[in-house]
Amino acid sequence: MMHRFFLKLSQVFAYLGGLMLTLLVVMTCVSVVGRKLNDLLHDMVADGNMAGLAQALLDANIGAINGDFELIEAGIAFSIFAFLPLCQITNGHASVDIFTSKLSARTNRVLRAVIEVVFAMVLVLIAVQLSSGMFSKLRSGQTTFLLQFPVWWAYALSLTGAVTAAIVAIYMALIRIMESLTGATILRDEMGAEH
């Protein structure tokens, strides 16, 4: 029951991360096309080719999306943190089993527990530091250069994924510790990435 909850939560964050990436790709394409169209329209005005139409389109602000780099930076950060919980709960991290395949099942369970504990500690540290950074940006009132939105918004958005990843990592660490202590398989790997 608890595993199903954490898995669904992780999947929701992965879908949100995927949606964010999709929106960023569309926005980037629109911005690049707008930038190229703006260059073309300026050339048309300069050359006198359909200068009236070209100027009318320029007056309609045809061009790159203002602040696209700021939006991409904030969105990509969120997406990275949004994918971490699913990667953690499905054991989707890359693993090289050249050495571990020769170890006993018990040793592998202990090794897996140690790795999960280290992951949990790192993800908790990342969430704590991201939280500290967010509160620092909130206190300073820092805004982005072009869009002038508060920088702490991007930190807060990323923090939701980081905290979720940390909670899922702690849950997985506890499961793997119990498996190493009891010798029983509590959770089979959902997916796993092997190289």
pLDDT tens, residue by residue, 34-75: 999 999 999 988 888 888 888 998 899 899 999 999 999 999
Q: What are phi and psi of 193, to 5 degrees?
A: -120, 125
- Which one has a higher pLDDT value, 82 or 194? 82
CA distances 101 to 5, 92, 96, 110, Å, are 31, 18, 9, 14
Q: What are phi and psi of 94, to 5 degrees?
A: -65, 140
**Mean pLDDT over each residue of the chain, to the nearest integer:** 92
Give pTM, 2 decimals.
0.86
In the chain, pLDDT over 90 holds for what percent of residues? Answer: 76
Average pLDDT estimate for 110-131: 96
Separation of alpha carbons 40 and 53, rounded Å:
12
Helix (H, G, I), strand (E, B) or coil at 193: strand
Residue 189 — pLDDT band, cuts 50, 70, 90?
low
Unique residue bearing structure tokens 């504990």: 117
> Would you say residue 84 has pLDDT above 70?
yes
> Two tokens at 106?
């018990």
Q: Where are the domains of the chain?
A: 2-194
Helix (H, G, I), strand (E, B) or coil at 127: helix
Average pLDDT estimate for 164-180: 96
- The DSSP symbol for 146 reads S
**Who's near 91: CB < 8 A, 6+ residues apart?**
189, 190, 191, 192, 193
Whole-number pLDDT of residue 151: 96
Q: Is the Cα dihedral 68, 69, 75, 79 positive or negative?
A: positive
> Would you say residue 193 has pLDDT above 70?
no
